[in-house]
Amino acid sequence: MKLKINKQDALDYHEQGQAGKIEVVPTKPMNSQLDLALAYSPGVAEPCKEIARKKEDVYKYTAKGNLVGVISNGTAVLGLGNIGPDASKPVMEGKGVLFKKFAGIDVFDIEVDANDPDEFIKVVKALEPTFGGINLEDIKAPESFKIEKELKEKLNIPVMHDDQHGTAIISAAALLNALELVKKKVDKIKLVMNGAGAAAISCAKLYKSLGVKPENIIMCDSKGVIRDDRGGLDEYKQEFATKQNVNTLSEALKGADVFVGLSVANVLEPEDLDKMAKQPIVFALANPNPEISYDVATKARKDIIMATGRSDHPNQVNNVLGFPYIFRGALDVRATKINEEMKLAAVSAIANLAKEPVPEIVLKAYGDRTLRFGKNYLIPKPLDPRLIYTISPAVAKAAMKSGVAHKKITNWEAYENELKSRVGSDQKIVSNAIARAKQDPKRVVFAEADHYKILKAAEIVSAEGIAKPILLGHREKINELVSQYDIDLNGCTIIDPSEPKQRKVVDKYAEFFYERRKRKGLTFKECRKQMLSRNYFGTMMLELGETDAFISGLTKDYATSLRPGLQIVGVAEGYKKVCGMFIISSKKGDFFFADTTVQVDPTAEEMVEIIDLTSQGVRIFTEQEPRIGVLSYSNFGSSNGKVPEKARKAVALAKERFPDLVIDGDIQANMAVNP
């Protein structure tokens, strides 16, 4: 099931809270008059004077070395065309988010109101002092070729038009691996391309660098095969004009080993594939829909090796596999450009990584333990954590070897370790939990399903294969919300406890509950009434094994949500209490706090139970052993009083009961989080 994104969801995502997707965050403290004086006047004058004396010191005293400009004029935005600079801004912000998430690179997005290439070049050139690199984005061809070429010549920082080179680099890596699988040599293949825009021209150029012979490349545009006897060709198409006597895409495909599409949907028919050579390689990269659908193509040719631009099929050619890491490597050696050697290094790094054993974290993230090098795994997955410390060093080494690096890296092991830590935690707890859940999706009851947020969560959970939602609520209200917000509840079960057909179930639950609570003042009538409450109904489902998990609390207070669990499920065997735990993820790591919801003033003995339960929770979420600090206003006996004395006693008891546990206290919070 594909995740469904509707218009209002997308608009709300961008509008709610702080508008947009990015913000500027200070990297230095700004908490005192001294901080302000150092950050601005008069302290800021000192680095200014140093940079004025030695220009290269701008990398030492400012963020330039980790700052990329994502710059566009909005003339060729995604599948939207020439929508202008203002309308392109959400895309540019999105690109900045990807730079940050995958490579720890900061971005300013710059939207330039200039359709004239010379004017655009002039504006971008003037911005060179600001940035360590320039990522050109969504600029229409053929102007994009001129813009990139001149900026690369005029600027002393790396410049790359990702629409051209990103697709070229990723598809080239996939092509090398596909050819290896079918045992064909790159200099012998016949390659047909459909599309002659910026990405297609760049792909063809890079394929030539890999060894594909120019005379074996046939390129088609909307008018058919680009032949050398066709008039009016620009210099970029002219480079790939063929002398072969073919006129149509269908004719060109006869005997072809490879098809690369960067055009529009549904231009290929199954019979076109039949004309291709044995074990054809088909990269149908048009977005959002490919030149021929994956299902149709693989049905037509069982021996096909196929890639698309879509995430719901194998071998997604996704630019995010390349540009963050290419710029990371270029920035880290202060490269003056991104040259052919650096691009080829990225191609080789990506291709070779796909042949390595896939780590468990990737297998979990994609819910597929069969991932290994082969026709359905030509290139790594976008969430593979190895990408940054595989591609970036390869690019950096190529920059140094080709003489465009101003900074040398000598300790590559240290550099790779730095790359591994550069992007921070980025909610790894959530990502890992989702990955584990996908391995064995459980039944999950949502008790407040007549609310939009719950229904939307259930839609996502079901679509992504995280769990099997069971929705408790008034069916009429749920259906109304589904219709109003265009929510897809395929894969979800709806139960309305108030419906007559649930009467026998309610009676069964009430009888079970009555047996548990009849000595605690409840009558059967009261038990049955409570079973009509979705919190009680859902918790009883959990107790009777009719679901695996229960979620509530959106509209109820904590005590109301927790009480049915205590009355029906009870505490775990061997324990007397339950506790609540909060998780805070930050760049400094993940912190677990307990008890933050239930026990107001626990005894030392009860604190030991809380420590034990929280430790189990940490192990579940992180698969690591916890380090525990028992907090107080005192540090290791520096102050006396009830709270620190109780903390010290709890630590002693915990060490006695759990000798392998890493625990200390009493300790103040600031010291506990200091590594």
Query: Could you give the residue numbers annotated as active site?
Result: 40, 95
3-class SS of residue 382? coil
Which H helix or E strand runs over 273? helix 270-274
Nearest to 447 by CA among 517, 516, 490, 496: 496
CA 347, CA 209: separation in Å to the nearest integer?
A: 11
CA 179, CA 318: separation in Å to the nearest integer?
A: 19
CA 442, CA 124: separation in Å to the nearest integer?
A: 52
CA 194, CA 261: separation in Å to the nearest integer?
A: 5
Nearest to 434 by CA among 409, 461, 403: 461
Contact 606, 646 (CB under 8 A): no
Nearest to 462 by CA among 478, 444, 477: 444
* Cis status, amide bond into 441, omega within 30 of 0: no
Contact 195, 223 (CB under 8 A): no
Contact 176, 211 (CB under 8 A): no
Which H helix or E strand runs over 656? helix 642-657
Nearest to 111 by CA among 133, 101, 132, 96: 96
Tokens standing for residue 69: 């400009």
Contacts of 216 (CB under 8 A, 6+ apart): 188, 189, 190, 191
Long-range contacts made by residues 270-273, C-beta under 8 angstroms, separation at least 24? 270/296, 270/297, 270/299, 270/300, 273/297, 273/300, 273/301, 273/304
Distance of CA 522 to the CA centre of its chain: 51
Which H helix or E strand runs over 90? helix 84-103
